[in-house]
Structure 1
Amino acid sequence: MEIKSKAKMAIDAMLSFYNQTDGRWSTQAPWWLSGNAMQATLDFMAKTGSLEYMPQAVNTFTKQSATLPWWPSGGGDFRADSTDDTGWWALASVRMFDLTGDQQYLTYAKEDEAYMYSFWSNHTCQGGIIWDIPSRSYKNAISNELYLKLVASLHNRIPGDTLYLSRAKQSWAWFKNSGMINSDNLINDGLSEESNGTCTNNGGQTWTYNQGVILGGLAELYKATKDRSLLETARQIANAVMTSALLSPNGILTEPCEAEDNCGSDAPAFKGIFVRNLDELQDVLPGSPYIKYLDAQITSAYNLDRNSSVGNLYGLKWAGPFDEIDIARQSSAVSLLVANLKGTSVLIT
C-alpha cells in the first residue's frame, strides 16, 4: 500500500477524536495537542494538494481562536498561558495561510509572535523567552525553538520584511550560546537560573521534539539567509538523534520515557514532531539524506505499532508492541506518515 493511502487512513482514524462542537481533537486532552493535530492534517493537505479536511480546519480555527476560558487575559487568537502552547497554534496558522492565502491566518501568526516576544527577557540568561507566563519563569528549549521557527517562517512569507528576520537572528544567536545544546549535540529541556541571573544547561531530558523543532527552525532561517552553517548545526543534531542509543535504539526513534511506560499525555506526540521537522530539514538538503531513516520508522510503526482491528490507530512505541490509543499517539503517527510523502509543502490557491 502506498504511503499516501496509509497517511489518509491514519488521518481518517484521527478524525474519530474530533469534536465538531469545539473544533478540538479530543476535548479533554491538553489544548496544544489539537494545534499539533491541526498541523499534521494541514501538512497532509499541503503535500498532496487535497483540501478534503479543510472544513475541519476552518471550524477549528474559528472555534479555538476565541478567548480561552482558562486564560481570558490572553484576549484570544491563540494567546495562551504558556509561550509554547501559543507557538504550536501560530505555526499551524502559518501553514493554514500557505494553504489558503487568507491573510487572517497570517495575522494570527503575527499576533502570536508579538505575544511570545513580549515575554523575551534579558533579566536572566541574557535573553530568551520564558515558558510559563503566570509565574514568569523557566527558559526552556521548546518555547524558544518554536519562536525561532515562527519568526523565520513569517519572514519567508512577508515580502520586504526586516523585523522578523532580525528577531530570528537574535533568537538563534541566543539559543546557540545558551548552553542547551550539550556536548553530544543533543538539546536538553532547558536552563537552570541562578540568583545572579546567569544560567546553565539543566541536564533535563533530551525529548525528541526538542531535537526536532530546532531542525525546522534552522531550515526556515537557512531559506532566509542562505547561511550554510545553520545546516551544518542542524545536521549535527539530526545525526546525533539517529545514532543515539537512547533516542534511536536499533534505528527506531524512541522517546526516553517509553522504557518505563511513563510518558503522560504530552510526550506520545513528540516523535511525530521530530520527524515532521526532520523532513523539513531534508527539503533544503541535497540527496534526501534521511529517507532511509524515515522509511525504517514507517515500516516498524505500520507493522508493529498499528491496531488495524480498531481502524488504523497507532500506539506509543514505533518499535512495538501496540499499547493504547489517544490523540497524541495518533497525531504522531500521522506526522510520520506525512513526512514520508513525496514533495514539499506548497501554496494551494
Structure 2
Amino acid sequence: MSLTTQGVPDMHRRARRIWITAVVAACGVVLSLLATAIPAQGAPQAAPTARAKASAAVDAMMGFYDQETGRWNPEAPWWQSGNALQALLDFMTKTGSRKYLPEVKNTIAEQRKPLEWWPQGGGEFRADSTDDTGWWALAMTRMYDLTRDKQYLGIAKVDETYMRDYWDDTCGGGIWWDIRSKTYKNAISIELYIKLAASLHNRIPGDKVYLDHALEAWNWFKNSGMINNDHLVNDGLTTQSGGCANNNGTTWTYNQGVVLGGLVELYKATGQQSMLTTARQIADAVIASPLLSPKGILTEPCEAAGNCEFDGTAFKGIFARNLGELDNALPGHPYRSYLRAQADSAYANDRNGQNQYGQSWAGPFDKASIGRQGSAVSLLVSVL
C-alpha cells in the first residue's frame, strides 16, 4: 500500500520524538552516574588508605634520591642510604610495587663498589664500622626476599663474614664497632649481626653455621649487661675506658628495635618462645617509658634538645620496622594499635604539603631530611 504525501512528514515527526526521548533518557542515566561518581563540591572526601599514605611518603623520599651516586642525599651519613633502601624494599615486598626497582638496582650497583673513605674494605658494603655494613647487609636479605636472586644473599654472606672478623674475646666476645681503632663494643653492631646471621640461616636450607653464629652472639649480648634492669638497651659497654660494664649510654630507639627483629628471626629459626618473651619485655618497656613514649607517641631522647641530626633522625622508623616484625609474629597482633597511633599522629601532625615528614611524630613539622623521611616510610610500612 502506498503512503500519502501527508503521512510521510507525520512519520518523520513521530520518529524524531522517539529519538529525542531516548537521548534525553540516556543523558539522564549518564548524569545520574556522574553524580554518584563525583562528589558534590564541599562533600567530605574518603580518607586515604594506609597504602596510599605509605606510597606518598615513598614518593617524597625518592625526592632525595641522587641517580649518579645511588644515594639518598649524598651529604647525609652513608648508612642512612642503606636504611632508606631497606625502607623502600620493605614497601615493595609488602605491596608488590616495582615502581622504583631500577633505582634499587642502581643503588646496589653503585654502592657495592669499594668505598672512597675505606677502599681496603674491598666493596660489597664493607665499611670502617661494623654497624654501617650491617644496615646494607640486611637490605640485601630483603632484596633476596623480593627477587629470589641468590646474588644478594651472596653479598649478605660476605658482610656476615666481614662483621664476624671483628669478634674477639675482649669482654668475653662481641663485635667491635669501630674497625679502625677497636675501642668500642656497642649494642647496635651486635644486634645487627644477630639479625643478619639469623636471617641468613632462615633463607639458606640446611644451614647450621649462621644459626650457631646468631645464637652465640645473642647469648653474649643477653649476658653483656647492655640490657638494663628496666628491659631497655643502653648504647654500649665501657670498653673505651678499658672496662666491660654497661656504660649507661642513651637508650636510643633503634637499639630497642633491631634486637626485636633479631629475636623474631631467632624464634623462626629455633621455635623457642623465650625469644619472643624477651622481645616483648623490651617492646613493652619502650611503650611504658615516659622518656621514649611520652603521651603514647614514640620519641627519640635527643628530640627535647633538638640535636638529633643526622643519625638520630632515622632511629624511630627502625624501631617501628622491627616492632612491626614482632607484631606479625605474635597472635592477636598486640602492637598494631600502638603502631597505628604513631602513624596517625605523624600523618596528622608531622607532615607538610609535599608528604614530607619531620622529626617529632607528635608534631609540629620542623624540616625535611632523608633521615626523617626514611623513618616515616618505615613507620607507615609497618602498619600495612
The normalised TM-score by structure 2 is: 0.87
1:278 aligns with 2:278: no
Residue in structure 2 matched with residue 46 of structure 1 by the alignment:
93
Task: Return the alpha-carbon distance in structure 1 between the equivalents of residues 243 and 55 of structure 2.
Answer: 48
Q: Report if the CA contact (8 A) 1:207-1:256 is conserved.
A: yes
1:332 alignment counterpart? 375
Q: Secondary structure at the match of 2:82?
A: helix
1:138 correspondence with 2:184: yes
Deviation at 1:173, TM superposition (A): 0.4
Structure 2 residue runs without a partner (length 5+): 1-47
RMSD value, Cα: 0.9
Cα distance, 1:194 vs. partner? Answer: 7.9
Which residue of the other structure, out of 95, 109, 117, is the alignment partner of 2:142? 95
Q: Distance in 1 between matches of 2:193 and 2:183?
A: 17
Letter in 1 for 2:193: Y
Take 2:178 and 2:321, find their aligned partners in 1: how far apart are those partners?
25
Query: Of the candidates 133, 150, 161, which is equivalent to residue 86 of structure 1?
Result: 133
Superposition map of 1:1-349 within 5 A? 1-122=48-169, 124-193=170-239, 199-308=244-353, 311-341=354-384
**Higher RCO structure, 1 or 2 (CA under 8 Å, sep 6+):** 1
Provide Cα deviations, 1:49-92, integer angstroms capped at 9, x if missing partner: 11111111000000000000100100000000000000000000
Which letter maps to 1:103? K
Question: What displacement does 1:198 show?
Answer: 5.0
Does structure 2 conserve the Cα–Cα contact (< 8 Å) formed by 1:126 and 1:198?
no
Cα distance in 1, alignment partners of residues 334 and 273 from structure 2: 16
Q: Which residue of 2 aligns with 1:347?
A: none
Choose 1 or 2 for highest CA Rg.
2
Partner Cα separation in structure 1 for residue 236 and residue 130 of structure 2: 14
Distance in 2 between residues matched to 1:98 and 1:259, nearest whole Å:
38
* Residues 125 and 133 in structure 2, CA contact (< 8 A), matched pair in contact too: yes
What is the letter of the counterpart of residue 230 of structure 2? Answer: D
The Cα of 1:208 is off from its aligned counterpart by 0.1
Q: CA deviation at 1:34?
A: 0.2
Provide structure 1 residue ranges, at least 5 long, that are not aligned to the other structure: 342-349
**SS of equivalent residue, structure 1 residue 125:** helix
Q: CA deviation at 1:325?
A: 0.6
Contact 2:131 / 2:177 at 8 angstroms: preserved in 1? yes
1:73-125 superposed Cα distances (whole Å, 9 cap, x missing partner)? 00000000000000000000000011111111111100000000000010x21
CA distance in 2, matches of 1:268, 1:340: 20
Distance across 2 between alignment mates of 1:128 and 1:198: 14
Count of matched residue pairs? 337
Moved over 3 A (4+): none
Amino acid of the structure 2 residue aligned with 1:287: G
Alignment check: 8 A CA contact 1:186 1:240 kept: yes
Alpha-carbon distance in structure 2 between the residues aligned to 1:148 and 1:53: 29
2:383 and 2:158 mapped to 1: Cα distance?
Answer: 32
Identity %: 65
